[in-house]
Amino acid sequence: MVALQIRNVPEGVRSALALEAERRGQSLQAYLLAVVTDEARRASNPFILNRIPMQARGMQEADEGAESSAVEILREVREQRTAHLLDVVGRRPDGP
C-alpha cells in the first residue's frame, strides 16, 4: 500500500473529521481510508454507467442528454456533500 499525506488542512476540518470518526467508532485513519476508498469507487461510476447498454438497465432508448444528466447529478450530489462538510466546520470555499 501507499501512504497519502494532506498538507494545510484547517484545524476545523480536521476536528470535524475526527468527530465523525469517533461517532462511527473508528480511528481517524480508518475513517479517512473509508472516505478515500468510497470516493475512488464513485469516481468510476460515470464510466461504468456509460458502458452498460441502456436496455440492460431496463431503460428506454436515451438521447445523448441522459448520459450527461447522470454526470450532472453525480456532480451536484458531490457539491452538496462538500457544501455540507464545509457548513459543519463553518467555512465556505470562497470565504473565511
pLDDT tens for each residue of 1-18: 899 999 999 999 999 999
Asked if the structure places residue 17 within a domain, the reply is yes
**Is position 84 within any domain?**
yes
Q: Do the domain assignments include residue 6?
A: no
Q: Is the pTM of this model over 0.75?
A: no
Domains: count for the chain = 1
Confidence band for 20, pLDDT divided at 50, 70 and 90? very high
Examine residue 25 and state whether it is found in any structural domain, yes or no.
Answer: yes
In which domain, by residue range, is 63 found? 11-88
Look at residue 5 in the predicted model and tell me its pLDDT: 93
Residue 95 counted as domain residue: no
Count of all residues that appear for the chain in the document: 96
Residue 94 in any domain: the answer is no
Dump the DSSP string for 9-46: --HHHHHHHHHHHHHTT--HHHHHHHHHHHHHHHHTHH
Residue 4 included in any domain: no
Quick check: is 45 in a domain? yes
